Structure 1
Amino acid sequence: MVNRAITGDVSEPELCVAYFQSADFRSLAPRGQKVRRGILERFCINNNDGEKPYSELQSKHLRLRRDAMMDRPEAANNMIKAVRQVFKYAMKYQDFDRNPAVAVEYLAGNPDGFHAWTPEEIAQFEDAHPIGTTARLALALALYTGQRRADLVLLGRQHMTSHNGSDWLRFTQQKNIRNKPVHMEIPIAPELRVVMDATPMGDMAFLMNGYGRAFTSNGFGNKFRDWCDAAGLPQCSAHGLRKAAAARLAELGCTEQEIMSITGHKTSKEIARYTRSANQRVRAERAIDKMSVKKIGE
């Protein structure tokens, strides 16, 4: 069935099934495959659109679908991105002559992304979840490694190594692991070490759920949502901790390259978005200090 010839008269689900067998799809990491498959399956069952021939799909139809998701711009954009890939496959393997999703613009999302935790919010979470709890370990791992939740749930003792007498974490990030793997080596901060030493942890995964098993990425996100709510922080989430980690490094005066060595970003574009507010505060503080020194010297 791999790359079998299909006609424009077949339905959208049939095209997606053929795409799922392609090298383009199968080269994605397992989590990437799961996410994209879910997006496309939801796309196909919307208002029975899946019964229509995929050749009838036009850009105007996709814009209507996108606009119906304006309250969730990131989800809408991910849908358009997934459909683009399906029709890219159709053009390469099925002799289809157009990609209706290419002309569909992405929605403008929140320019600042997920809410970045403030120092006060971090302290409030720590007060609610003392050292020794899994919640506190999760917070510390996120803050002192700057990793995505898909990586946090996989970190375990097998990733620990020693370098110059210090403990380090050595691992490969899950995002784009098959196509563009990012290999990481991060020293374990003393603050993180204190929390780890005081908290029951698993072997192959530090973070364990209530059943004594490793979290899935989604399961961890849901549990962290519960921990935030218990701490009175409904505006906070696990996503925002990665941004908070980068912002803290920026406030300490770390360069973009230094921050990227912790977060694993390959370009400074995303780092600049993460640290925009932090850099502004640092520059403002320096500007006032310079102005104050000048006034004192006058």
Structure 2
Amino acid sequence: MRQSVRSVRLKGLWTHPKTGQRYFRTRRGGKPRLVKLPSDLPIDHPDFIAAWAAAAKELAPPKAHATGTIGSTFKAALASDRFHTFSEGYRATVTRQAEAVIAKVGGVKASAVEQHHIRADMNSSPNPEARLKAWRFWAGFCIEKSWLRADPTVGLRKPKRLNTGGHPTWSLQSIAAFRAAYPIGTTCRAIMELTYWAGARIGDVVKIGRPHIDADGVLCFRQGKTQDMAYVPWTCTLPAYARGMEADRQMCMDAIAHLGPGLTFLQTNRKRARSHKSAGQDISAACRAIGLELSAHGLRKARAVALANAGGTTSQIGAWTGHRSLSEIAHYTAEMDRRGAVRGVDPEHVSENSADPQEKSGSSGLKSIG
């Protein structure tokens, strides 16, 4: 009697409907991943089955770490409600560092971690400061869950870094050069003017829009990094210390007007919010094209410097730029005071007007697009 032959069924095997090419397919992490398989062999051939098995092993999900290990406790911390109350930027930083730790020592018992282990891991990390953030969050979470008796991060300090000055601040000459190279109507000019006027981080600049303008004509938005509020004069009367910045404000309005109405000022042609990476790269590329090594964040610093030069107090600058630390703001005001001391200029009577005379609006009234 002839036995029936059952067809071979290999999990994950997928054949492209147009080309006939065979693949091993999985959707690990929600994204489809493909490994090419030989199409010139029958699926029950030993070589084909060996290729399929190798592909399945390559794309197999990682084994779950045992309870009580660094891997399992870190994953629990990242899935906690508390973790999701933090800013998007903080979560991204901690997640990257946590994944690196898990890949390195995920199978180690959490209770075996001591301070010298964390210090050694920090020193071997490309970003010791960010790595310490991840360890501190992990330790705090484990203490709350009674998985650790003592916090091994207590007493650890982030390593001292050379003071590089961070992102260079845009000078008035750099701003004038950028304005001369990129006329109003170009996208990079719109990004530059809005970032400069708002004095905001690029991650917030791409999210703000008309819904953030209150009844008094003030642009109010919560910052993504710190969750603190920032308040930017939009159509309201400028405060006394910023009266010399009227032309800057009008140029911001003119520069973003061509992007049309939408929920965000810097919307794309498809009426979608622009990504912060795209906006930042546009500014950097535009600067390099005219010989400037500057970034979008330098415009935030330039606004803080302009406000300090105009006589703004630390609280006034902080309200506008959203700086949380008064020491950060004091840096700009102190720099202005030192410069004024050798120039014989009274800081309280210096007004700043960085507008290019050729681009000043002919009328004294503000043309609002809000």
Stretches of structure 1 that go unaligned for 5 or more consecutive residues are 1-6, 289-298
Q: Label 1:115 to 1:185 Cα distance change in 2 as closer, same or farther (>3 A).
A: closer
| Alignment partners' CA distance in 1, 2:108 and 2:268 | 43
- Seen in structure 2, the aligned counterparts of structure 1 residues 116 and 107 have a Cα distance that, compared at 3 Å, is farther
Shift of 1:247: 1.0
Counterparts of 1:132-171 in structure 2 under 5 Å? 132-161=185-214, 163=216, 167-171=217-221
User: 2:119 aligns to what?
Assistant: 63
- Contact preservation (8 Å) 1:250, 1:259: yes
User: Deviation digits for residues 159-188 of structure 1, max 9, x if unmatched?
Assistant: 23453xxx43232222343xxx42535335
Structure 1 residues 232, 56: closer, same or farther in 2, change over 3 A? farther
1:1-298 matched pairs, under 5 angstroms = 10-45=68-103, 48-69=104-125, 75-109=127-161, 110=163, 112-161=165-214, 163=216, 167-177=217-227, 181-182=228-229, 184-188=231-235, 189-199=246-256, 200-202=258-260, 203-209=262-268, 213-234=272-293, 236-286=294-344
Taking only aligned residues, the RMSD between alpha carbons, in angstroms, comes to 2.9
**How far apart are residue 149 of structure 1 and its match?**
1.5
Contact 2:318–2:326 (CA under 8 A) maintained in structure 1 = yes
Cα distance 1:208–1:90, how it changes in 2: closer, same or farther (>3 A)? same
SS in 1 for 2:221: strand
Task: Provide the secondary structure at the position in 1 that maps to 2:203.
Answer: helix
Deviation at 1:9, TM superposition (A): 6.4
The verdict on how the C-alpha distance between 1:274 and 1:133 changes in structure 2, with shifts beyond 3 A counting, is same
1:172 and 1:184 in contact (8 A); partners too: no
- Taking structure 2 as the reference length, the TM-score comes to 0.64
* Residues in 2 aligned to 1:64 and 1:173: alpha-carbon distance in whole angstroms: 34
For residues 97 and 198 of structure 1, do their structure 2 counterparts lie closer, same or farther at Cα, with a shift above 3 Å needed? closer
Q: What does residue 295 of structure 1 align with?
A: none
Q: Scaled by the length of structure 1, what TM-score is found? A: 0.78
Counterpart-to-counterpart distance in 1, 2:105 and 2:170 = 41
1:219 Cα offset (Å): 3.2
Higher relative contact order (CA 8 A, sep 6+): 1
Aligned residues: 270
Q: Is the 8 A contact 1:246 1:271 kept in 2?
A: yes
C-alpha distance in structure 2 between counterparts of 1:232 and 1:146, whole Å = 23
- 8 Å CA contact 2:218–2:231 kept in 1: the answer is no
Mapped contact 2:183–2:189 kept (Cα < 8 A): yes
Could you tell me which amino acid in structure 2 is paired with residue 157 of structure 1? R
8 A Cα contact 1:153 1:214, kept in partner: yes
Structure 2 residue runs of 5 or longer lacking an equivalent are 1-64, 236-245, 347-370
User: What is the one-letter code of the residue matched to 1:196?
Assistant: M
| CA-CA distance at 1:31 after TM superposition | 4.2
Give the direction of change, closer, same or farther, for the CA distance of 1:97–1:174 in structure 2 (3 Å limit): same
Structure 1 pair 205–94 and aligned structure 2 pair: CA distance change class (3 A)? same
- Please identify, of 84-93 and 267-276, the stretch whose mean Cα deviation from structure 2 is larger: 267-276
Whether contact under 8 Å (1:130, 1:136) holds in the other structure is yes
SS for the counterpart of 2:218 is strand
CA apart distance, 1:56: 3.0
Q: Tell me: CA distance 1:284–1:58, structure 2 relative to 1, closer, same or farther (3 Å).
A: farther
Q: Matches of 1:43 and 1:206 in 2, distance apart? A: 39
- Residue 253 of structure 2 aligns with an amino acid whose one-letter code is M
- SS in structure 2 at match of 1:201: coil
How high is the sequence identity, in percent, across the aligned residues? Answer: 28
